[in-house]
Amino acid sequence: MVDGHRGGTAVAGGEAGGAAPAVLWELLRYREPVCVEVTGPSGVVYQVEVEAFWDDRKRRDLRVLASIDDGGWRAFSPLCDDFIIATDGSFVGE
């Protein structure tokens, strides 16, 4: 079962050391969902999917949507979170 706190931290980039700017540029480059498997500190393997799309094309802000599951029943209802990030990597809002 996905631990809501740990899963939310992984979705927000906390476990990856705040990797949001790196993810942002990868998403801009490919413009398709990115799906990776990440092993948490407890040894549980999580599937993380990240997708970005324009939230404000004029200001060039991107909305980043991420979902995470552990392959169990949570795969049918993954933990999801989203935020808005500017092209300079700064946090704009949720």
* pLDDT > 80? residue 63: yes
Nearest to 68 by CA among 84, 54, 82: 82
Q: Which residue has the higher pLDDT, 81 or 90?
A: 81
Q: Which CATH number fits domain 4-93: 3.30.1300, 3.30.70, 3.30.420, 1.10.8?
A: 3.30.1300
Mean per-residue pLDDT for 62-87? 88
Give domain limits for the chain.
Answer: 4-93
- For the CA atoms of 61, 68, 37, 41, the dihedral, rounded to the nearest 10 degrees, stands at 110
Mean pLDDT of 79-91: 86
Q: Is 38 helix (H, G, I), strand (E, B) or coil?
A: strand
Q: What is the pTM of this model?
A: 0.61
Instruction: Output the six-digit token pair for 67.
Output: 């979902």
Q: Of 71, 62, 79, which is closest to residue 9 (Cα–Cα)?
A: 79
- Write down the pLDDT at residue 33: 83
Question: Which residue, chain included where needed, has tokens 């949570």?
Answer: 74
Instruction: Give pLDDT, residue 34.
Output: 81
Segment 9-58, tens digit of pLDDT: 444 444 444 555 666 666 666 567 888 899 999 999 999 998 888 887 77
Structure token pair of residue 83: 């935020």
In the prediction, which pLDDT does 23 show? 60
